[in-house]
């Protein structure tokens, strides 16, 4: 189960990062209009870039790899420099999640995080009372692997002791969540919200088994896929 746009709202965090890209580019003498940043982010979503912010940063710093690395390092630092209240503001829990997780756990579901995220996300999930419901409590930076690399999913499945054919990936992105999970034989549920809500499948292999609008529809979607 992903974190962003499944457990919490990523919209404000995405806007924060996009604004920071503009500010950091301006610091190095490259002024970019907000509309151009937004357009570049849309292109990154459309072309299935694994990291939208990295793709946007490269778009405006290419072909200077050193400049890209400097700007990318500053963007990460801006997240690390946030105080706890600011981080909370960018990770507001979505409606229905607090009720959904204990129900899934009580029904015997083995919950595993499957999120490209920084370690601080685990602190926030713990603070929200969500982490205790997960048997696998890793994110990409603690695991050393990241979506859409299928090894990310293989490792999580191994830690959960789960059979892919009896597992469901719940995420918001076709490129990082649905397509690689389907490739490994998992069932998939797409939560249609956030910056990737308009992402289109490249082929039928990218189509989710079910699409839902929010947490209140996830349980019934899982029941339909794993009767």
In tens, the pLDDT along 127-164 reads 999 999 999 999 999 999 999 999 999 999 999 999 99
All structural domains of the chain with their residue ranges? 11-88, 97-225
Q: Percent of the chain beyond pLDDT 90? A: 100
Question: If you average pLDDT over residues 191-209, what whole number do you get?
Answer: 97
Residues in contact with 179: Cβ distance below 8 Å, sequence separation at least 6, in sequence order: 148, 205, 206
Q: Are strands 187-191 and 210-212 parallel, antiparallel or unpaired?
A: parallel
* Topology classification of domain 97-225: Rossmann fold (3.40.50)
pLDDT for 61 equals: 98
Please state the pTM of the whole predicted model.
0.96
What per-residue confidence (pLDDT) applies to 227?
A: 87
pLDDT in tens, 54-79: 999 999 999 999 999 999 999 999 99
Decide: 11 and 195 in contact? Cβ < 8 Å.
yes
pLDDT at 170 over 90: yes
The torsion region of residue 194 among left (phi > 0), alpha (psi -120 to 50) and beta comes to left
CA distance 153 to 83: 31
Quick: pLDDT tens for 108-123. Answer: 999 999 999 999 999 9
pLDDT (0 to 100) of residue 45: 98
- b vs e for 116-153, b when ≥16 Cβ sit within 10 Å of the residue's Cβ? bbbebbbebbeebebbebbebbbbbbebebbbbeeebb
Task: Please answer whether residues 129 and 11 qualify as being in contact, where contact means their C-beta atoms are separated by less than 8 angstroms.
Answer: no
């Amino acid at each position: 189960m992903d974190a962003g746009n499944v457990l919490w709202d990523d919209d404000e965090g995405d806007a924060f990062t996009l604004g920071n890209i503009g500010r950091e580019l301006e610091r190095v003498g490259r002024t970019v209009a907000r509309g151009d940043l937004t357009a570049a982010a849309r292109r990154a979503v459309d072309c299935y870039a694994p990291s939208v912010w990295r793709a946007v940063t490269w778009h405006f710093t290419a072909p200077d790899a050193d400049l890209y690395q400097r700007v990318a390092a500053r963007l990460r630092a801006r997240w690390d420099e946030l105080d706890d209240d600011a981080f909370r503001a960018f990770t507001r829990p979505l409606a229905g999640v607090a009720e959904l997780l204990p129900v899934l756990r009580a029904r015997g579901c083995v919950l595993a995080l499957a999120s490209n995220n920084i370690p601080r996300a685990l602190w926030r999930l713990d603070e929200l009372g969500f982490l205790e419901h997960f048997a696998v409590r890793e994110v990409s930076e603690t695991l050393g692997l990241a979506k859409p690399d299928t090894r990310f999913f293989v490792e999580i499945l191994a830690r959960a002791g789960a059979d892919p054919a009896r597992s469901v990936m719940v995420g918001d992105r076709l490129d990082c969540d649905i397509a690689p999970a389907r490739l490994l034989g998992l069932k998939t549920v797409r939560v249609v919200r956030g910056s990737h809500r308009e992402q289109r499948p490249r082929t039928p292999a990218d189509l989710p088994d079910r699409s839902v609008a929010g947490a209140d529809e996830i349980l019934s979607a899982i029941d339909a896929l794993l009767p």
